[in-house]
Chain A
Amino acid sequence: MLMTRLKAGGPAIAKQGILVAFIVFMIAFSLMSDRFLSADNIMSVFRQSAIIGVMAIGATIVVIGGNLDLSVGSMLSFATVLVVDLHDKIGPELAIPVMVLATLCLGAINGFLIGILRLNSLIVTLGMLSAIQGLVLIYSGGQNVDIVDQRGTWFAIFGRGAVFGIATPIIIFGTLALIFHIIMTTMPFGRRVHAVGGNPTASVFSGIPRSRVVFMTYLISALCVAIAAIILGSRVMGSQNNVGQGYELQVLAAVILGGTSLLGGSGSILRTVLGVLMLAFIQNGLILMGQPYYTQWLVTWVVIIVAVWLDVAAKRGRLFSPIA
């Protein structure tokens, strides 16, 4: 039935499989829990999704460029431990730029290995995932780090503050999503990333500096991780050494859910935002309904697979592949 609706909707709606899935899902949840669509809850989910969301913006650009970034999880641990630890040592006004620079260096290493040396991104970033986790443990000696003066520091604004009644993490997430959406859809850099991801060989013949473009995508990904770390550090006011463990999969799940092709060349930041929100609403909705945790794991991944299927189905106009 859904299929006929998709078909009837024509090409415009056919491209929005994820949006359809999202709306269906929201309606289903709101029927099952009366608190689900309350303003408080929606704001709370938006705020919760900001950390994964900011990271997913960078990851989307990397994936459109035809690569993967699995190192973002431990990079988040690295950046959060660094900014929280330095906060009490040199103050937040210095801790933030030092951390951002250090995280950009890690992004540059990724970018160099994958963009310039042309190594396989899956292998490089999987290796970096472990290597950076090791770096975190060497740096901290295994100790958790905490900000002592949690009430007094202005650093609290990023994770706990609000501007005009809207939580800062939401504002940061929204602004970044908008900026990078504009860059990716209207600016030369965005077109170059699409070209490099869609057809690397053709892009080189078209005079696009492929190495530099790929390098830049990893730098952007690292920048997004650094910003996510500021939100996380400020929200929690402390950090474990493995705080970002597993986040790389949530980020990737959101990107996939947003319909960005893992083969590169196509994808959209705004749809990734939708993917991020959908994952956050699923987790939130299931707790609101009082479901035990194992259903959350199960349902989350079933929804991802169904959504990807719906997306593909909408694009080709039928549920099953025409080729047997």
Chain B
Amino acid sequence: MTKTMKLLLASCGTFALVGAAAADTVRIGITQNNVGIDSYQTTYEQAFIAAAEANPDVEVIVLDAGGDVARQISQMQDLIQQRVDAIIIWPTDGQALVPAVRNAHREGIPVVVTNSNIAEAGMEFIAAFSGPNNIQQGIYSAEMMCDALGGEGQIVQITGMPGYTTAIERQRGFDERLAELCPGVTQLDIQPGDWNRERAQRTMETLLTRFDQIDGVYSGDDNMGVGALNAALAAGRAEGMVFIGATNFAVGYDAMGRGEYWGSVYQSPVDDARAALQTALDVLAGEDVPKLNYFDTPKITQENMHEFDRPVF
């Protein structure tokens, strides 16, 4: 593509923006990761559409990549062709989507990344990121663990799928904060649960065999946390054991209500979706939007759980 053509296309993009502003409605395209694969993403999509419908000035084009990188790249191209005013993307792969995001940027279409961030190389091409701060979530979990154990004890950690950004960041936040805040708490072992409750249950059973004394368990999400709790209950060793999770699931919420589960981090897909749409609107309104927009994911414990709705997933 020649420079002139690029320039031409870029100016077209500007015209589209101006045109949209004149009509007072904005067209926003979203390409999601894999709707339907889990409750979080399903609820996210529903909440996103609801939020867009509630705003008469917004028209949305909702697409789903079905977890397929190639399909998401072509969806990005389609959205660029349709000259939407902004694109929201939930990357199927933070690295592979960088060129597609760069294309949109070159065409003058602002890109907002939602939920899981794009790779570092793509940061200069995006208008903003909107999503949870997974490192902060790990820090919160470490603080709750420290709190619950009174600064002393031996714990094990069950992480998400090895290699996933969310799993890595939560573990990093947890490990670093725990070491700094609570040197009296030692981590006996860290093993993956692959975001799978049965796998986490199996792992925990083996850890219970290996260690006579386990005071606490930190799991990368509540789904795995409940698997670990199941294992401890079956072994008759759940009494006095502290279970801390992340991404509060309905099963974790219920276990907290029964007093078996100590705490977690409340992450609402509804907040996530609304924050993404709002970030895109702020960008289009020309507001000075920071690069990283984290929505609030507070600690939830047995004590304050009544302030939160039971998660829908």
Contact = CB atoms under 8 A, between A and B. Distances in A.
Interface string B200-223: 011101110110000000000001
B198 A51 contact: yes
Interface stretch (B30-38, B94-102, B280-288): B30-38
Interface in B240-292: 249-251, 254
Interface residues on A, range: 20 to 34
Interface stretch (A106-114, A183-191, A233-241): A233-241
B37 A137 contact: yes
A38 B210 CA distance: 11
B270 to A, nearest CB: 14
Contact of B209 (A41, A138, A146, A236): A41
B198 A288 contact: no
B206 A142 contact: no
B303 interface: no
A38 B209 contact: yes
A87 B96 CA distance: 42
B162 interface: yes
B39 A142 contact: yes
B234 to A, nearest CB: 6
Interface residues on B, range: 35 or more
Given A146-B250, A288-B206, A240 B223 contact: yes
A207 interface: no
Interface stretch (B48-56, B122-130, B146-154, B189-197): B189-197
A48 B205 contact: yes
A144 B223 contact: yes
Given A48-B205, A142-B38, A142-B39, A237 B230 contact: yes
A146 B37 contact: no
Contacts, number: 87
A15 B236 CA distance: 43
B39 A143 contact: yes
Nearest to B251: A146
B29 interface: no
B11 interface: no
B42 interface: yes
A142 B36 contact: yes
Given A143-B39, A143-B42, A293 B162 contact: yes
Given A137-B37, A143-B39, A236 B201 contact: yes
A238 B251 contact: yes
Interface string B156-171: 0000001000000000
Contacts of B36: 137-138, 141-142, 241
A240 B206 contact: no
Interface of B: 35-39, 41-42, 162, 189-192, 195-198, 201-203, 205-207, 209-210, 223, 226-227, 230, 234, 249-251, 254, 312-313
Given A146-B251, A288-B210, 13 more contacts: A41-B206, A143-B42, A144-B38, A146-B250, A235-B201, A240-B196, A241-B37, A284-B206, A287-B203, A288-B209, A290-B210, A292-B190, A293-B191
